[in-house]
Structure 1
Amino acid sequence: MVIGVTMVNVLPGKEKTVYNEIKEMKNVRDIYHVFGEFDFVVIIEAESLSILNNTVDNIRAIEGVTKTQTVVGAEI
């Protein structure tokens, strides 16, 4: 199991649409709207690093997403 934490920036006015799309994605465990440098923090839980990467790619492909940054960890 691989856990990823992806921070997401979106265009102003696109927050609700992006939130709803991310929330419905497979492998997304939680999503939080935050204040500061990023708009959302997304917790991704996947069976492999490649599946996690695909999920992040799908987030980047959402209209209105301008930037992502991901940190990855594995269960011990």
Structure 2
Amino acid sequence: HDFRRWLTAIGRFTYGTADYRGGNRTDQTFSASADLIYKLSRDVWIKGQLRRDWLVSSIPNADTAATVVMLGVRVQN
């Protein structure tokens, strides 16, 4: 969504599955993220992302969750 010409927000949700051969393991992965892009000029952008990842497994005690924060600068000429 463009709040202004120089400020953009993006939201995402992803889902995936993995079935493993030779075993009874099935994994589900989920991810939700929000990006914010601030355009200082046509040539310089600052981008931040906050993401939460989950893995749900049929194997006991194999579930995981992680929070990822990223910050980047785009310079284009």
Q: Same fold (TM over 0.5)?
A: no
Considering Cα pairs closer than 8 Å and 6+ residues apart, tell me whether 1 or 2 has the greater RCO: 1
Q: Would you tell me which structure has more helix in proportion to its own residues?
A: 1
User: Based on CA coordinates, which of the two structures has the bigger radius of gyration?
Assistant: 2
TM-score, length basis structure 2: 0.28
Greater share of residues in strand: 2
